Amino acid sequence: MELKKDSNSVSIDMLLIVHSEKRRAAQGAHSDRQADPGALLQRRGGLQGIGNGLRRWQKLEGNELHGNLAEKQHPQQTQIITSYDNQGTQLTVEVHPRDAMPQLLKKFSLAKCLQGDKNGNTRPRQPGGKDAHAYPWDRSSLKSMPLDLRQFEKLDTYASQVTVKSGLDELVSDLLQEAHSDLERVRAIWIWICHHIEYDIEAAQEKDRQAFKPTDILRTQKTNCDGYAGLFEKMCRIAGVQCMTVPGYSKGFGYQTGQSFSGEFDHAWNAVYLDGRWHLVDSTWGSGLVDSATSKFTFLYNEFYFLTHPALFIEDHFPDNKNWQLLKPPQSLRQFENNMYHKSEFYNKGMLSAHPETSMIKTVNGKAMVTIESCAPTLFMFMLNGKQEHGLLSLRKNGMKLEVYPPTVGTHKLQIFAKGNSDIYSSVLEYTLKCNYVDDTVQLPAELHQPVGPSWFSEQMGITKPSHPHPIIHTSDGRCSVSFGVEEGISVLASLHGDDGLITEETQRRYIFQLQREKRTELKVQLPHAGKFALKIFVKKRQEAGNYIFVFNYLLCCTNTKVNWPMFPESFGNWGQDNELLEPLTGVLPANRNVPFKLKLHGIAKALVKGQDTWPLTLNSEGYWEGSCSTAGCQEVYVMVLENANHNFYSYILKYKVNAQ
């Protein structure tokens, strides 16, 4: 047989002729001359493993094969079935009556553009240089073509509400009522599938994945990834848009950081041909997610997997044919396995890059560090082995920095979450930490929450120009003073937390004394002993009801074992934020002593100190109330004020304890 080649074609050197079943049995009550060629193929084992390993069964629906099949059938006549794999290889099967001569014993070739199918679709060239995008990602866009998602708002709403009336053809026809271009046709199909087809977890976990007919998918509204891809391809072809199903490996449900891939492909997605170029979509992952704890599927639309930029798509999709990466240069399977996996939410929430760029991190001197760059200010949090402990996370204007100190030698799971524009933190990164050394000098308080140190967020919440911009404060004598500007109408609350139990919930604020100096708040802190402490800062709008909101905390460190500061005096509700206490600052007074008092109090008619007796305070020329009090014969001392000279009711504002004799 002479096979001619030219510059625009590829010769095929295989011809498969399939005779009817009757040929194998001389007798029988039924003739197979009109046998369904699809059923015949299924009896022979199906079109399994064509080309580069599309490892799934191809089945017929009605008179058409599911997949990339173009078919001609004539009753009582020769039937020809032509199939194309992902490489463009053509496999033709001829089914004819027993005594008929084969009509396909002739040369044939596959040109760059094939003849149209029954819907008038033409098959463009395989992906090449024109389709390739540069790797790594250039940060220009999450999409492979310029898109303004606002242009789809009306179409998306319409497509998501279309219901199935009869068959697939009518469904596609209804969807295209509001679509006026190939891009809009693809978009309408994508939106409908993502909002109506549920992921069939049981079917996905079967060892031998079954092929889903489009009619079955429409009836049950459930399928696996092969079904999603097959349905998407079928609907696109009905709509007159070129589409291919692409099998491969994925970092999806059940993926473990750093795992290797081999054997059967575990996923399938699509490539669509728009504006003279191939683009990638994954309607399975666009429709929702599977909860790893409950193994239940939840519809949760994900825009990321519609026309995804190939340099981002390759992070969790590795096709069987490297050409379908649409990348220059293409990545190897080993690179795919080792490269950092940024979840779709990483990009959805505005992240640009992360360091380290590998999923496995080894600690250095007991510490691992992760940084993330984002295109806008973003809130982050982390978990180490499921707990928000053993790390310092500080926010930056465009990203964050995280220092992690694993508490034990071994392997640890580090998860990083980002908030973005939503009210929900979503997982964006996962690392595996390998720690071979623990720094015992670094023991962070369990109550040290995130973030640490002031940032754009604290400024947004009304705290400005902090005296200590760095999150860690070292003190040699166990005392420190922190100040910052406070916007009008904002109240500040602070508390101190350690891990030894000496600081109880009742005394968390007694080691901090808060002073107001003009438009700045000062926090005087005295530590009860050496160690590490979390100084938490909360804010609240004075005119609004509700609780204080946590903003950030400092890490206070003191190595001086001689430190043993007492608590500050207890303050009551009438202690105004603009008041100032100069002395005594200690909350415990010596017994049988005359103790001087000096305070600045605003809007006060009279002030006094009450122990066993009462001592009035006088207002000096500098605006301070001064005086002294004897602690003899008493256990407690109070500072009291009279706000209205026409009344005789004094209010308690400060309380001191007196040491036992």
- Tell me: do 546 and 596 sit in the same domain: no
- Determine, yes or no, domain membership for 600: yes
For position 395, which CATH number holds?
2.60.40.10
Amino acid 201: pLDDT: 85
Active site residues: 225, 267, 282
Query: Within this chain, do residues 161 and 268 fall inside the same structural domain, yes or no?
Result: yes
| Same domain flag for 157 and 276 | yes
**444 lies in a domain?**
no
Residue 19 falls within a domain, yes or no?
A: no
Instruction: Specify if 387 maps to a domain.
Output: yes
Q: What is the pLDDT of residue 504?
A: 74
Residues 474 and 517 in one domain: yes
**pLDDT attached to residue 212:** 82
Same domain, 536 and 594: no
pTM, whole model, 2 decimals? Answer: 0.75
In this structure, the answer to whether residues 465 and 540 fall within a common structural domain is: yes
Residue at 171 is within a domain: yes
Judgement on whether residues 418 and 506 belong to the same structural domain of the protein:
no
From 435, 464, 479, the end of a domain falls on: 435
| Number of residues in the chain | 661
Note the pLDDT of residue 502: 65
Give me the number of domains the chain comprises.
4
Regions in the chain scoring below 50 on pLDDT? 1-78, 80-84, 86-90, 92, 98-118
Same domain, 297 and 326: yes
**Does residue 289 share a domain with residue 194?**
yes
The CATH number assigned to the domain holding 304 equals: 3.10.620.30
- Give the CA distances from residue 239 to residues 120, 170, 172, 182, 193, in Å, rounded to whole numbers and listed in that order: 10, 11, 7, 8, 14
For residue 228, with 0-12 CB atoms within 10 Å meaning exposed, 13-18 middle and 19 or more buried, which class applies? Answer: buried
The answer to whether residues 609 and 597 touch, using CB atoms and an 8 Å cutoff, is yes
User: Which pLDDT value is given to residue 204?
Assistant: 74
Instruction: Yes or no: say if 232 and 187 are a contact pair by the CB < 8 Å rule.
Output: no
The pLDDT of residue 292 is: 77
Question: Is 195 a domain residue?
Answer: yes
pLDDT number for residue 161: 97
Domain region containing 326? 149-332
Same domain, 325 and 369: no
Asked if residue 201 and residue 270 are part of one domain, the reply reads: yes
Residues 138, 144, 147, 153, CA torsion sign: negative
Distance, C-alpha 653 to centroid of its chain: 49
Query: Quick check: is 268 in a domain?
Result: yes
